[in-house]
Amino acid sequence: MGYAALAAVALVVAYILVSYAVYRRAFVAAKPAFLDDFAFTPFEFQADSEEAELVTADGVSFGAWHFRQPGSPQTVIVSGGHKGQRTNSLGISAALWRKGFNVILYSYRGMPGSDRAPITFGIKEVLELQAVIAFARKRIANARIGLLGYSMGAVVSLLGAAGEPGVQALVLDSPFSDLRKLLIENVRNASKVPGSPFVWVAGLMLWLRTRCSLSACSPIEVLSSLEPRPLFFIHGGADAITNVNHSRRLYDAYRGPREIWIVQGAPHTGAYFADRPLYVERVAGFFARHLGLDVSSHLRLVEEEEVS
């Protein structure tokens, strides 16, 4: 009986430890590193830019870069991925700026340049996006705003735009349709065991620390609030982190104007790196059409065979 009790205790401890590992991987920011201060900025791209220090409605300070296009109201706000830094989005941001857009990219809570705070996979990060939208409206006259988001940033864009009717168009690269479903899939793929029990405990840990529920991060539930604004879904066909079916599910559920581009062979958020020029042309063209910017002299003709 003693051995059975010890085995039961060991199983419970293992269950809690695995659940905590799921929680930590999803919701705990990495510790600051020495190299965080040695990264590219808009300076390396010779861009007309400014650095802004912004504050969310719940008091979190974070940093943003504004690539300026004086006299142009067309503005693209770029939201990065899970635990990503704004430096990761400098390439596409500089490219869109050269097309004639104002571009703003920013850091999330818990990331370098921002206040330390728990990651909530988009639930509270929406507050950063709201602060950036307010900054854009204050700094850019008659701003016409589009959102470009990657992975978690695509979800932040969806959730944020649902409460911001002034956002006019969204490009969503590698979004997930529901956070709980995503976590369960990743646990199952990594461990070959059912993910639900571990995700349930990880969700409880998140709620105890932040009072945020996993159910609050379900983009598919807010799609009706986005109609009739145009959405452009982009996803890598070989995405092993967020299965391409998440974008397909969102695309099929949306009743407004929408497009989808599946890049065969591309990994998670890898469409840009599969063909940078084509990616820039398609994203810039989408925003140009829906934000009213004439970039015809800057866009090359996209051949049909280039689109996979």
How distant, in Å, are the alpha carbons of 117, 214, 259 from that of 202? 17, 9, 34
Q: Confidence class of residue 29 from pLDDT cuts 50, 70 and 90? A: confident
Q: Distance (Å, rounded) from C-alpha 236 to C-alpha 246?
A: 11
Which two three-digit tokens encode residue 282? 């398609």
Concatenating the DSSP letter of every residue in 283-294 gives: HHHHHHHHHT--
Strand extents, DSSP E, the chain: 49-55, 61-67, 74-79, 102-106, 144-150, 167-173, 231-236, 258-263
Q: Confidence class of residue 303 from pLDDT cuts 50, 70 and 90? A: very low
pLDDT at 12: 84
Q: Residues 210-228: pLDDT tens digits? A: 999 999 999 999 999 999 9
The total of other beta-carbon atoms located within 10 Å of residue 3's CB is 7
Q: Examine the pLDDT at 80 and tell me if it is beyond 90.
A: yes
DSSP class of residue 104 equals E
Percentage of residues of the chain with pLDDT beyond 70 = 94
Q: Is 147 left (phi over 0), alpha (psi -120 to 50) or beta?
A: beta
**How big is the chain by its Cα radius of gyration, in Å?**
20
Q: Residues 35-77: pLDDT tens digits? A: 776 788 898 989 999 999 999 999 999 999 999 999 899 999 9
3-class DSSP state for residue 239?
A: coil
The whole-model pTM stands at: 0.92
Q: Distance (Å, rounded) from C-alpha 103 to C-alpha 126?
A: 18
Describe the crossing of helices 179-191 and 2-27 by its angle, rounded to 10 degrees: 120
Q: Residues 111-137: pLDDT tens digits? A: 887 888 889 999 999 999 999 999 999
Question: Rounded mean pLDDT of the chain?
Answer: 91
Q: Confidence class of residue 9 from pLDDT cuts 50, 70 and 90? A: confident
pLDDT at 282: 97
